């Protein structure tokens, strides 16, 4: 099933999306295992959530785990999965910051979905435990790929329309994983990479893009503010 956001109105403020890249390279530069970089990245995500909330960001969407990431070494994948369970378990901190959790990705009950049951439970619990918060919406893209999302939306449109009825943009929009999510205003990509990597291709059509050499664990308030400044240029 697709987990819907509740009926609380969408918060005001820009929609910022982050491609959290460079955890492994951050660790390598310090002579640490890649898993240490992912741990540092999860800790910094908690810090960025606090920063974004304080800056009046309405929606913060982060690329947690892609449909392509399953090919990584099994030990690394297990570690990343455990970190996501911990992320979704930060309920006290999320509630203290009035942050509401959302999730996008391959629906758990559809063919091809690979989200483990323990991560599914953590996602469901986090959504339920933060459902009444009225501040920033934190959306985690897990087992997510934009091409998969768009193909699914197109297939659903085709199966629900007559052969001579054109498929509209509104019809595709209504079948995205989280159709009520506003378009992205700003996308941030860390670690010196200047590509989008199959992330929210529909939602970022008019977004400004901020590339930084800093790895995700080093993204701080100064850099985040520099990215936000793009919205005023």
- Within 10 Å of residue 175's Cβ, how many Cβ atoms? 19
Q: How many CA atoms are closer than 13 Å to the CA of 38, on its beta-carbon side?
A: 17
Residue 189, strand partner residues: 19, 211
- The CA–CA distances, whole Å, from 187 to 62, 78, 195, 220 equal 10, 27, 11, 15
- Within 10 Å of residue 116's Cβ, how many Cβ atoms? 15
User: Is 129 noted as a catalytic residue in this protein?
Assistant: no
- The CA–CA distances, whole Å, from 89 to 83, 108, 121, 129 equal 10, 19, 10, 10
Q: Which of 21, 44, 102, 133 is catalytic?
A: 21
User: Is 21 noted as a catalytic residue in this protein?
Assistant: yes
Tokens of 27: 């660790």
Q: Which of 6, 69, 95, 143 is catalytic?
A: 69
- Are the C-beta atoms of residues 159 and 144 closer than 8 Å to each other? no
Q: Is 126 helix (H, G, I), strand (E, B) or coil?
A: helix
For the annotated catalytic residues, the residue numbers are 21, 69
């Amino acid at each position: 099933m697709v987990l819907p956001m509740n009926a609380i109105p969408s918060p005001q403020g820009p929609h910022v999306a982050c491609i959290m890249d460079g955890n492994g390279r951050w660790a390598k530069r310090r002579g640490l295992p890649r898993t240490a970089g992912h741990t540092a990245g999860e800790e910094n995500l908690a810090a960025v959530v606090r920063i974004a909330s304080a800056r009046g960001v309405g929606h913060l969407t982060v690329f947690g785990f892609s449909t392509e990431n399953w090919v990584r070494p099994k030990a690394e994948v297990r570690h990343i999965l455990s970190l996501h369970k911990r992320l979704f378990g930060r309920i006290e901190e999320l509630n203290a910051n009035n942050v509401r959790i959302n999730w996008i990705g391959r629906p758990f009950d559809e063919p091809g979905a690979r989200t483990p049951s323990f991560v599914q439970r953590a996602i469901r619990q986090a959504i339920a435990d933060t459902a009444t918060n009225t501040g920033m919406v934190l959306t985690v893209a897990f087992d997510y790929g934009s091409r998969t999302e768009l193909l699914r939306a197109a297939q659903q449109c085709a199966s629900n329309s007559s052969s001579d009825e054109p498929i509209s943009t509104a019809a595709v929009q209504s079948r995205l994983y989280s159709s009520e999510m506003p378009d992205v205003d700003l996308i941030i990509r860390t670690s010196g990479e200047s590509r989008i990597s199959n992330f929210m291709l529909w939602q970022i059509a008019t977004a400004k893009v901020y590339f930084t050499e800093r790895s995700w664990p080093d993204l701080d308030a100064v850099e985040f503010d520099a990215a936000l400044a793009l919205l005023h240029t």
